[in-house]
Structure 1
Amino acid sequence: MPHQNERQLDPAIALSALDEATPRDPHRQFALKHEDCFMVTDAHGDVRGVGDGFFRNDTRVLSLLRLTVDGQVPSLLGASLSQDNILFTANLTNRTSRGPGNEETPQGVVHIQRTRLLWQDRMYERIALSNYWGRTVRLRLRIEFGADFRDMFEVRGTHRSKRGRFLDADIAEGTVTYAYEGLDGVLRKSVISFSARPETLSAGAIEFAIEIAPRGREKLFIEVGGEPTSPGRESFRAAAARARYAMRSKRRHGATVFSSGRVFNDWLTRARADIALLTTELETGPYPYAGIPWFSTAFGRDGVISAMQMLWLNPALALGVLSFLAQHQSTETSAFSDSEPGKIMHETRKGEMAVLRELPFGRYYGGVDTTPLYLYLAAAYIERTADAEYLERNWESLCAAASWMEQVGRRDPHGFVTYKRGADSGLSNQGWKDSWDSVFHADGRIPPGPIALVEAQGYVFGAYQGLAALAKRRGEADLAKRWRKLAERMRAAVEDHFWMEELGTYALAIDGNGEKCAVRTSNAGHLLYVGLPSAERAARVAEQLLGARFNSGWGVRTLADDEVPFNPMSYHNGSIWPHDTAICAAGLANYKERDSVVKLMSGMFEAAVHFQMRLPELFCGFTRSPGEAPVAYPVACLPQAWSAGSMFMLMQACLGIRVDGWRGEINIDRPRLPIGIDNLTVRRLAVGKAQVDLHFQRVGDRVVCYLDERHEGLAPLIVRS
């Protein structure tokens, strides 16, 4: 992958680079995660060594894991993840073969079940073989394995001219230890341990001669970690119990939603489980890692948007994100890391290449919108929770972030917050569409910097508005007045310089020469989310987003389909990103387009059904056709936090719900229910110190809302029909 395009993995490059054995379809891969470890395999449970593997702290510690029976790959019956995302199970069966005794075993008489989980930097696997033949079966089970200790960026395609030193594999009874001493001086180990005595064991494979009586069952246990262990039934069950308990604890955080639709509830459950899976408990609190496999780390923008999506249900997630980002707020200027004092982090990595600064992403600040989004989230969190203690404790950080916005705004004649990367190793584009070709003119030209992105200015507007409200609450009237003035100045500048009357929308960006990137993109929908446009112009943007050029039937495309660079198979120029559709939908709801939000949510739900209830990072922007499924993007992350969270942002936009923490009120504005749902309950919604159950019910062509009688008087409910 080109270093200047850290976020994108272009499918054409990816597919040409990978061999035919490599899994390419994210919706046919299976991911497990615990804290800073994750594992991606194919449906057989195999790791084949290019884009998959077992990763620990951005290093691949298991690059090969392949099971064969009598020299053949077993037939796949099916594969699945448990509802709580803890266990991966592959169900396989044998092919016709001759085993150790040269006796023929017919196809389909041995059931092979691989069950796997991750817990505390270790992979646990149980292989159970059940004989359904009337005779004793003798099989030769072979497992190939390996550890290449490649950095995540190497796995993604970055070439390194030099690597560290591999130590000779240490082979003991039932255990193989791999070790690699990196150029950073760190010794990394991967120890593969087996529960049974093998027939043969080498540095790359192990073989077992297995005999299974009629109706009998044999089990083999495997563990992969940093130290040797003694795998077995007890350690497997103990790890599974602890992992499930920890996941249950995560999923209990915040309010939950339950509806009258069984399949719709499956989507709710999967989305909530994916958020819990990706949420890592850091010293500063919970943080939703962006996605698996490429972005299983803390990203600033992704974390903020995921927290915004979940804020109405689980404010604790926002607090964890805000606390982590404040702790890593920049205090220095560096062209290499694109940092300046007050700026909020874009990304952090722990791998060898990041430590050696071969790439800037160890702690990288190249995101133009992350800082205003941080401020926007902080203001929304405080409004939602009335957390005055957080406001006082974090005021200095908020002011430093605001100071950065003001300083950058002074560099532009119109006060826009712009970006231009400080070093060639950084990101060339620094908004959420951060691939190298995602910002362009109508004729396809790549614009010169510094670039002012339209949605980034919207976030700056929203940040100043939120800051003004916070300053007023602290009794700092002059500061509140100044920030309100900056917000209105930004509103006027965007309306004056980004609006394109002839196209009925806002330009994607303004380049370093002051020329508009006059293309129609979904970015304009983000302005609706922060409430910047006038009602008249918002209506025209809404008309664009809901029209056939943008709305594919599954969701909102990132680019109108008649623009020159449009490509439905691209990463950013015509694909559909669920979080982008959700932000646009929330913006439409701000301007009373709630019925349109219901339709967008319906399309996204139907897409989720085709993706086994798990929305990927993105999918292709082809127009929906009767009887056809949405087309997957070949190297999308799955699961992805802000894709899972998009469900809850869409739900909030439908219900029109907002919690005012300072007043202790629940405000419901013209609620709608998703298509096919007649009633819905939000359970344990926190309002101040109270928790309430909130019910929505369809009555004719209206939706009524009421509190459970148990909570009457604990929190005012204000409903506008």
Structure 2
Amino acid sequence: MAAGAPWFMALFGRDSLLSSYMALSLDQNLALGTLQTLARAQGRKVDPITEEQPGRILHETRFGLDFPLARGGGSVYYGTADATPLFVVVLGELSRWGIAPDAVEALLPHADRALEWVEKYGDRDGDGFVEYQRMTENGLLNQGWKDSYDGVNFADGSLAKPPIALCEVQSYVYAAYVVRSHFAHEAGDLKAVEHWCGRAAALKEAFNERFWLPERGWYAVGLDGDKRPIDALASNMGHCLWTGIADRDKAEQVAERLLSPEMFTGWGVRTLATTMGAYNPMSYHNGSVWPHDNAILATGLMRYGFVEQAQRVATGILDAAETFGGRLPELFCGFDRDEFDAPVPYPTSCSPQAWAAATPVQLMRALLRIDPWMSHGQVWVAPAWPARYGRLSIHNIPLAGRRVDLEVDGASTRITGLPDDVEIVQQPRRPLSPAPNHHDQRSGPDMPSGPGSP
């Protein structure tokens, strides 16, 4: 898929992966095709000009006349820190839906190559965190999803200098480790289970020690080149709820900050709080509202049990969608809802745009709290469907080779079309957790899981 029109009519690794993830409840073949396409272009050699490295997933492909000059002479550019772990996360999530097990298994060596990149090239200094720093002056200065030149900054507005370890990138790496532990568990490879569980546990412990700012009550956006916490209050930390890397005793403060007046506009959560030095509601990454960002935040809030907060974020974005005629743009300005009766458009926003288009689908899934785990013969469902939307019927959801119908009417939930041997678990899925190792062979509905866990 292309990232968006008119500016990004090209394949982007991060965008296509997150868009495919958010569209899973409609079409899992999209995620499968995306993973296969990215696997074919996975890095094989070290090339400082294009920033290619073995195992790395591309940032973007371009075939226009000017792109080779702008990005080092090739049609594929690899300068991003997050697409590679996200590749593994989406592969695990696809496995949960039960589509094409042989095709998913065929992609597992590419996931292993991605994890090799994480540990050999992503972690530049061996401190356990994945950092980025461009390899060429023509490359992107910032290589997370907020990739504008000023997209990563301190609370006082000063720009962070690379190498930079972003909080959301560490959370994706954590999720990737957990995914791999579940693949190993299902293969009966207990040695690999122990390895990946250990990697996940060590990263989670180090992350919560180094990135948490107790005096502020939020996670740092990242660590800069001097390993200083980048202390701005930004939306990045919401992704840490999505993957489960955030300690539960810190999650409540994260939720409070995300829904504070400084962050929440009424139409969605800003990328940067109004109290920060770089805040500008009309900027690209420093105070605007991005629908896909909010879909991830809402999913994370719901997974930690912050139902009311997740509903507020979801309904705010869906209200904004109505004002845009049903087509959410890439982003819109971060003015408060009580200032304007409709979101203020961002003048050069892409529309249509892939992950913005997928956002309402993911918000619906988050509100329904529906999560399949086909390898365990389970579907978790515990709707937190807002009463304002009334009765909901969805027909022909593709799931494990079947077409399933779902109906939600108040407190009543009905799923039809599932195979007889699939259990419906009527409780919310808990946040991400590694697979059980040989010391703990639990499996089934009481075993925590999260995004990407097979």
Alignment-derived partner of residue 552 in structure 1: 265
Map 1:98-117 to 2 at 5 A.
none
Alignment-derived partner of residue 499 in structure 1: 212
2:394 maps to which of 682, 692, 700? 682
Alignment-derived partner of residue 704 in structure 1: 412
Deviation readout 1:450-494 (Å, 9 max, x if unpaired): 110010000000001001111222232222211111111110111
Contact 1:360 1:426 in 2 (8 A): no
Map 1:641-656 to 2 at 5 A.
641-656=354-369
Map 1:244-643 to 2 at 5 A.
288-355=1-68, 359=72, 362-385=75-98, 387-408=100-121, 410-625=123-338, 628-643=341-356
Contact 1:375 1:398 in 2 (8 A): yes
Shift of 1:402: 0.7
**Structure 1 or 2: larger helix share?**
2
> If the length of structure 2 is used for normalisation, what is the TM-score?
0.91
The alignment partner of 1:707 has SS state of strand
Shift of 1:554: 0.3
**Structure 1 or 2: larger strand share?**
1
Shift of 1:720: 2.5
Structure 2: 5+ residue stretches without partners:
429-454
For residues 579 and 338 of structure 1, the distance between their equivalents in structure 2, rounded to whole angstroms, comes to: 26
**Do the aligned partners of residues 360 and 309 (structure 1) sit closer, same or farther apart at CA in structure 2, a change above 3 Å counting?**
farther
Contact 2:255 2:309 in 1 (8 A): no
Shift of 1:548: 0.9
The alignment partner of 2:299 has SS state of helix
Shift of 1:410: 4.8
Alignment-derived partner of residue 719 in structure 1: 426
Contact 2:61 2:77 in 1 (8 A): yes
**AA in 2 matched with 1:325:** L
Contact 1:353 1:359 in 2 (8 A): no
* RMSD of Structure 2 on Structure 1 (CA): 1.7
Contact 1:598 1:675 in 2 (8 A): no
**AA in 2 matched with 1:713:** D
For residues 123 and 15 of structure 2, the distance between their equivalents in structure 1, rounded to whole angstroms, comes to: 27
Deviation readout 1:256-298 (Å, 9 max, x if unpaired): xxxxxxxxxxxxxxxxxxxxxxxxxxxxxxxx21100011111
Deviation readout 1:280-324 (Å, 9 max, x if unpaired): xxxxxxxx2110001111100000000110113321111011000
For residues 128 and 73 of structure 2, the distance between their equivalents in structure 1, rounded to whole angstroms, comes to: 28
The alignment partner of 1:544 has SS state of helix
The alignment partner of 2:388 has SS state of coil
**AA in 2 matched with 1:389:** D
For residues 71 and 256 of structure 2, the distance between their equivalents in structure 1, rounded to whole angstroms, comes to: 46
Deviation readout 1:605-660 (Å, 9 max, x if unpaired): 21111111111000000111266211000100011110011111111111110011
Contact 1:566 1:573 in 2 (8 A): yes
Contact 1:565 1:573 in 2 (8 A): yes
Deviation readout 1:218-256 (Å, 9 max, x if unpaired): xxxxxxxxxxxxxxxxxxxxxxxxxxxxxxxxxxxxxxx
1:693 maps to which of 382, 405, 424? 405
**AA in 1 matched with 2:184:** A
- Aligned residue pairs total 428
For residues 29 and 223 of structure 2, the distance between their equivalents in structure 1, rounded to whole angstroms, comes to: 37
**AA in 2 matched with 1:705:** T
Map 1:16-31 to 2 at 5 A.
none
The alignment partner of 1:695 has SS state of strand
**Do the aligned partners of residues 545 and 393 (structure 1) sit closer, same or farther apart at CA in structure 2, a change above 3 Å counting?**
same
Contact 1:382 1:388 in 2 (8 A): yes
For residues 711 and 458 of structure 1, the distance between their equivalents in structure 2, rounded to whole angstroms, comes to: 33
For residues 137 and 349 of structure 2, the distance between their equivalents in structure 1, rounded to whole angstroms, comes to: 25
For residues 275 and 4 of structure 2, the distance between their equivalents in structure 1, rounded to whole angstroms, comes to: 31
For residues 116 and 269 of structure 2, the distance between their equivalents in structure 1, rounded to whole angstroms, comes to: 34
Shift of 1:358: 6.3
For residues 408 and 446 of structure 1, the distance between their equivalents in structure 2, rounded to whole angstroms, comes to: 24
Map 1:116-135 to 2 at 5 A.
none
For residues 358 and 487 of structure 1, the distance between their equivalents in structure 2, rounded to whole angstroms, comes to: 34
**Do the aligned partners of residues 409 and 403 (structure 1) sit closer, same or farther apart at CA in structure 2, a change above 3 Å counting?**
same
Contact 1:507 1:516 in 2 (8 A): yes
- Highest RCO, 1 vs 2 (Cα 8 Å, sep ≥ 6): 2
For residues 341 and 659 of structure 1, the distance between their equivalents in structure 2, rounded to whole angstroms, comes to: 33
For residues 385 and 676 of structure 1, the distance between their equivalents in structure 2, rounded to whole angstroms, comes to: 33
Shift of 1:664: 3.2
**Do the aligned partners of residues 629 and 513 (structure 1) sit closer, same or farther apart at CA in structure 2, a change above 3 Å counting?**
same
For residues 622 and 392 of structure 1, the distance between their equivalents in structure 2, rounded to whole angstroms, comes to: 46
Map 1:55-74 to 2 at 5 A.
none
1:666 maps to which of 364, 379, 385? 379
**Do the aligned partners of residues 388 and 668 (structure 1) sit closer, same or farther apart at CA in structure 2, a change above 3 Å counting?**
same
> If the length of structure 1 is used for normalisation, what is the TM-score?
0.58
Contact 1:665 1:687 in 2 (8 A): no
**Do the aligned partners of residues 618 and 427 (structure 1) sit closer, same or farther apart at CA in structure 2, a change above 3 Å counting?**
same
For residues 492 and 408 of structure 1, the distance between their equivalents in structure 2, rounded to whole angstroms, comes to: 22
Contact 1:664 1:687 in 2 (8 A): no
Alignment-derived partner of residue 435 in structure 2: none
Which structure has the larger Rg over C-alpha atoms? 1
**Do the aligned partners of residues 576 and 690 (structure 1) sit closer, same or farther apart at CA in structure 2, a change above 3 Å counting?**
same
For residues 358 and 214 of structure 2, the distance between their equivalents in structure 1, rounded to whole angstroms, comes to: 34
Contact 1:298 1:347 in 2 (8 A): yes
Deviation readout 1:51-95 (Å, 9 max, x if unpaired): xxxxxxxxxxxxxxxxxxxxxxxxxxxxxxxxxxxxxxxxxxxxx
The alignment partner of 1:696 has SS state of strand
For residues 120 and 223 of structure 2, the distance between their equivalents in structure 1, rounded to whole angstroms, comes to: 19
For residues 652 and 415 of structure 1, the distance between their equivalents in structure 2, rounded to whole angstroms, comes to: 33
**AA in 1 matched with 2:414:** Y
For residues 302 and 325 of structure 1, the distance between their equivalents in structure 2, rounded to whole angstroms, comes to: 12
For residues 533 and 356 of structure 1, the distance between their equivalents in structure 2, rounded to whole angstroms, comes to: 41
**Do the aligned partners of residues 650 and 310 (structure 1) sit closer, same or farther apart at CA in structure 2, a change above 3 Å counting?**
same
The alignment partner of 1:691 has SS state of strand
The alignment partner of 1:720 has SS state of coil
For residues 455 and 410 of structure 1, the distance between their equivalents in structure 2, rounded to whole angstroms, comes to: 15
For residues 204 and 136 of structure 2, the distance between their equivalents in structure 1, rounded to whole angstroms, comes to: 31
